[in-house]
Amino acid sequence: MSQSTEAEVGISTTAERQAVTSQPGATPGRDWVIVTRGIKREYDMGGEIVRALRGVDIAIRRNEYVAIMGPSGSGKSTLMNLIGCLDTPTAGEYWLNGNLVSSMKDDELARIRNKEIGFVFQTFNLLPRATALHNVELPLVYAGMSAKQRRETAAYALERVQLTSRMHHKPNELSGGQRQRVAIARALVNSPSILLADEPTGNLDSATSSEIMKVFEELAEQGQTVIMVTHEADIAAHARRVVALHDGQVSSDTRRERFVRENEHIIAAKK
Partner 1 sequence: MLFFESIRLALNTIRAQKLKSFFTLLGVCIGVMFLIAVVSIVEGMGRYMEQDLIGKLIGVNSFELRHRPNINMGDVDPSVWESYRRRPRLYHDDVAPVVDALPAGTRWAYVSDNSLPVSSRYSSGPRNAQISAVDGDFFAIRKFVIAEGRDFTPQELAMGTPVVIVGPDIVKRLFPGLSAIGRELKMGGLPYTVVGVLETQGSAFGLSFDNQVFAPWQSPVHRLLNRVPSIVDAVIIQVPTASQMTEAQERVRQVMRTRHKLRPGQPDNFSLQTSESALAFWNKLKRYLVLAGVALPAIGLVVGAIVIMNIMLVAVAERTREIGIRKALGARRVDIMSQFLIEAATLSTVGAAVGIALGVGLAKVIAAISPLPATVAPWSIVVGVALGAGVGIISGVYPASRASMLDPIAALRQE
Interacting residues with ligand ATP (CB under 6 A): 43, 45, 50, 52, 70, 72-78, 231
CA distance 105 to 110: 9
Residue 166 interacting entry, from Mg ion, ligand ATP, partner 1, none, C-beta within 5 to 8 Å by type: none
User: Which member of 48, 72, 106, 165 binds partner 1 (CB under 8 A)?
Assistant: 106
Which part of the chain contacts Mg ion (CB under 5 A), choosing from 19-27, 35-43, 75-83, 103-111? 75-83
Q: How many CB atoms lie within 10 A of CB 46?
A: 4
Q: Is 207 exposed, middle or buried (0-12, 13-18, 19+ CB in 10 A)?
A: exposed
Site for Mg ion contains 201 (CB under 5 A): no
Residue 129 interacting entry, from ligand ATP, partner 1, Mg ion, none, C-beta within 5 to 8 Å by type: partner 1
**CB-nearer residue toward Mg ion: 120 or 157:** 120
In the complex, the smallest distance separating the C-beta of residue 234 from Mg ion, rounded to whole angstroms, is 18
**Applying CB under 8 A, what is the total number of residues that bind partner 1?**
26
CA dist 45 to 42, 51, 89, Å? 9, 10, 16
CA distance 174 to 125: 13
Site for partner 1 contains 214 (CB under 8 A): no
Site for Mg ion contains 77 (CB under 5 A): yes
Q: Which residue is nearest to Mg ion (CB)?
A: 77
Residue 44 interacting entry, from Mg ion, ligand ATP, partner 1, none, C-beta within 5 to 8 Å by type: none
Phi (first) and psi of residue 92, to 5 degrees: 95, 175
Residues for the chain: how many in total?
A: 271
Residue 268 interacting entry, from partner 1, ligand ATP, Mg ion, none, C-beta within 5 to 8 Å by type: none
Q: How many CB atoms lie within 10 A of CB 154?
A: 25
In the complex, the smallest distance separating the C-beta of residue 199 from Mg ion, rounded to whole angstroms, is 6
CA dist 88 to 48, 80, 102, 109, 208, Å? 20, 11, 6, 9, 33
Residue 91 contacts residue 40 (beta carbons within 8 Å): yes
Which part of the chain contacts partner 1 (CB under 8 A), choosing from 10-18, 83-91, 214-222, 257-265? 83-91
**CB-nearer residue toward partner 1: 22 or 102:** 102
- Residue 191's contacts (CB-CB under 8 Å, 6 or more residues apart) are none
**Packing angle of the helix pair 132-143, 176-188 (nearest 10 deg):** 20
Query: What is the binding site for Mg ion (CB under 5 A)?
Result: 77
Query: What is the binding site for partner 1 (CB under 8 A)?
Result: 81, 84, 86-87, 106-107, 110-111, 113-115, 119, 121, 125-127, 129, 138-139, 141-143, 146-147, 186, 190
